[in-house]
Amino acid sequence: MNTTAFREKLKSRQAGTWIRVFAAVVIFIVFTLANFNFVSSGNLKNLLTDSVPYLVMGIGVTFVLLVGSIDLSIGAVCSTATVIVAVLLPTMGYTSYLVALAMGIVAGFINGLLVVYLKIPSFIATLGSMGAWQTVAYLVSGSSPIQIKKAQWPMIDWARSAFGIIPLPFVLALVLLLVFYLVQTKTSFGKNTFAVGVNERAAAVAGVNVNRTKLLIFTVCGACAALGGIVLAAKLRSGLPTIGATMNMAVTAAVVLGGTALTGGKGGLVQTLIGCFIYNMLLSGLNMVGITSYYQDIVFGLLMIAAVYFTVDRSDRHSVVK
């Protein structure tokens, strides 16, 4: 690609980001005019709180999508993390968080091994692991929700703490996003992620360790899914074996709405932040104006299709989800 073409593509991507920012502002204004309670302090606080699991899990999903892969197991890993915290918190205290996080790391590492070394397409590999971890969630919980008893609430009250209307979990999520943004933009790992997504074979020829990069990416995604589960367990004060059932679609949709392409090499964490806000504003706003969940599914489905259409690089005939 010559310099002029590269600059034109860069300008196009920057324009796409600003268009999404503008869309987020328009959505905010529309729902505010439709129902002034949308900008109430209580709803804004809920909006930020609800966006936290999407942001945290979206970090890992962003990296996976950037290399042109997909992870369908994040919802099951999230569910398993919630029940691990709920079960172990009474006896292990804060260490239960580390156990849940370790589970997510192991889950992501296994996904990476399946994709990288067994050469199983990520869709199939993570579909299989989704079933496995969902079963683990059912076994650990006995297929029932597990309430976290009041005696353990002091160890999870951080999830309900706030600075005015700014929830503490949201601040922590932004810090995590900033850390991974710096990793994405300032380290060789971040540059290698984009290189693999743009052209995996060319990246390998250029000296990028493709296998190691993808293995680490899936491991990070598993860890982020577990962190999302920890947040949900603390927020809801319970472990729910089915809480992540809809998270695969929801988190991936939020990331893609932000502008990260399913075919890899395009997007980033800033776009994910925007996408999560758009998704959660739509979710909150549609609920406030009385749109039923059935019609909401139609809206989000159409938005997902549109987002994929506008993020796919049709100049590359070989773009596929790997």
Q: How many CA atoms lie within 13 A of 321 on its CB side?
A: 15
**pLDDT confidence of residue 313:** 60
Helix (H) or strand (E) holding 123: helix 122-141
- 183 contacts 63 by C-beta, under 8 angstroms: no
Nearest one of 108, 103, 116 to 73, comparing CA atoms: 108
Euclidean distance between CA atoms 60 and 228, whole angstroms: 10
Euclidean distance between CA atoms 250 and 127, whole angstroms: 16
**pLDDT confidence of residue 264:** 86
Q: Which residues contact 186 (CB under 8 A, 6 or more apart)?
A: none
Give the torsion through C-alpha atoms of 197, 226, 102, 64, to 10 deg. Answer: 0
Show the tokens assigned to 253.
Answer: 């949709």
**pLDDT confidence of residue 305:** 83
**pLDDT confidence of residue 123:** 94
Euclidean distance between CA atoms 246 and 229, whole angstroms: 13
**pLDDT confidence of residue 6:** 45
- 58 contacts 275 by C-beta, under 8 angstroms: yes
DSSP assignment of 150-203: GGGGGGTGGGG-EETTEEHHHHHHHHHHHHHHHHHHHSHHHHHHHHHHH-HHHH
Q: How confident is the prediction along the chain (322 residues), in pLDDT tens digits per residue?
A: 445 544 555 455 566 778 888 888 999 999 999 888 989 999 999 999 999 999 999 999 999 999 999 999 999 999 999 999 999 999 999 999 999 999 999 999 999 999 999 999 999 999 999 999 999 999 999 999 999 999 999 999 999 999 999 999 999 999 999 999 999 999 999 999 999 998 999 999 999 999 999 999 999 999 999 999 999 999 999 999 999 988 888 999 999 999 898 888 889 999 999 999 999 999 899 888 888 878 888 888 888 787 777 766 655 545 555 5
Nearest one of 252, 284, 305 to 54, comparing CA atoms: 252
Euclidean distance between CA atoms 273 and 9, whole angstroms: 21
Nearest one of 270, 273, 275 to 258, comparing CA atoms: 275
pTM comes to: 0.90
Nearest one of 60, 34, 82, 316 to 202, comparing CA atoms: 316
